[in-house]
A and B are shown apart, each in its own frame.
Chain A
Amino acid sequence: NAGVTQTPKFRVLKTGQSMTLLCAQDMNHEYMYWYRQDPGMGLRLIHYSVGEGTTAKGEVPDGYNVSRLKKQNFLLGLESAAPSQTSVYFCASNERLAGGPFLWFGPGTRLTVT
């Protein structure tokens, strides 16, 4: 199993440009998440999905859209990038175990918006 993969690993955008981050998992997990990580802010939930065809807003959803057309993929879109969206983005999937959630994280995408 590859686990959770993210593409691209790095990206530089200019203000106003758009892009899509792709997350893929091969573990058949129902739940998937997009987080952003900023210095001193910890991990903040952007959007999440509880299954194919479903999405929901997290803590900081403004400026982002998501889609979950296939169970194994969760896409994060930035329609008009802003410098405030410079961050490291992590995707995760959730293997629900008897003892609680078990989040598997991808390696991250480092995005810089100039």
Chain B
Amino acid sequence: TQLLEQSPQFLSIQEGENLTVYCNSSSVFSSLQWYRQEPGEGPVLLVTVVTGGEVKKLKRLTFQFGDARKDSSLHITAAQPGDTGLYLCAGERPGGSEKLVFGKGTKLTVNP
């Protein structure tokens, strides 16, 4: 059973377009993180959201944690080719187990 479902699995868009990717679960998480992974490299942390309803912005990227802390979204405004990569969400279960649960990822391609 996949605890974190990411959608869409693949996304190919043109430079300048906006997009949103989703990370959904039926479970509550203490925190939720978004990572970006480029080919041949390890994932790199982009942001952590902790409070239900929290919104964080990182330049053209906007991250939101659902009110019930079961889901999250990542919105990219005016996508650029440099945004291309695999976006992974990861959830920390309540109780501080220190084991993150990862979604399968959204592979984004931004074409010039």
User: Could you tell me which A residues sit within 8 Å of B by CB distance?
Assistant: 4, 31, 33, 35, 40-45, 48, 50, 58, 90, 92, 94, 96-97, 99-108
Produce 1/0 per residue, B36-60, CB < 8 A to A. Answer: 0000111111001010000000000
Chain B interface: which size bin?
20 to 34
Q: Is B33 an interface residue (CB 8 A)?
A: yes
In the complex, 30 of the A-B residue pairs with CB atoms within 8 angstroms, ordered by the A residue number, are: A33-B99, A35-B102, A41-B104, A42-B2, A42-B103, A43-B43, A43-B88, A43-B90, A44-B102, A45-B100, A48-B98, A48-B99, A58-B99, A90-B43, A92-B42, A99-B50, A100-B30, A100-B31, A100-B48, A100-B92, A101-B31, A101-B33, A101-B100, A102-B48, A103-B33, A103-B43, A103-B90, A106-B42, A108-B40, A108-B41
| The residue from A33, A35, A101 contacting B92, defined by CB atoms under 8 A apart | A101
Name the residue on B nearest A41 (C-beta): B104
Q: How far, in whole Å, are A35 and B44 apart by their CA atoms in the complex?
A: 14
Note all chain A residues with C-beta closer than 8 A to B48. Answer: 97, 99-102
| A105/B31 in contact, CB under 8 A | no
| A102/B42 in contact, CB under 8 A | no
Name the residue on B nearest A30 (C-beta): B98
Q: How far, in whole Å, are A100 and B31 apart by their CA atoms in the complex?
A: 6
Q: How far, in whole Å, are A86 and B56 apart by their CA atoms in the complex?
A: 37
Nearest CB of chain A from residue B35's CB, rounded to whole Å: 8
Nearest CB of chain A from residue B64's CB, rounded to whole Å: 16
Chain A CB count within 10 A is highest, among B33, B43, B90, B105, for B43
Name the residue on B nearest A35 (C-beta): B102
Q: How far, in whole Å, are A36 and B43 apart by their CA atoms in the complex?
A: 12
B residues 1-56 touching A (CB-CB < 8 Å):
2, 30-31, 33, 35, 40-45, 48, 50
Name the residue on A nearest B44 (C-beta): A105
Nearest CB of chain B from residue A27's CB, rounded to whole Å: 14
Chain B CB count within 10 A is highest, among A4, A94, A101, A105, for A101
| A105/B42 in contact, CB under 8 A | yes
Note all chain A residues with C-beta closer than 8 A to B90. Answer: 43, 103
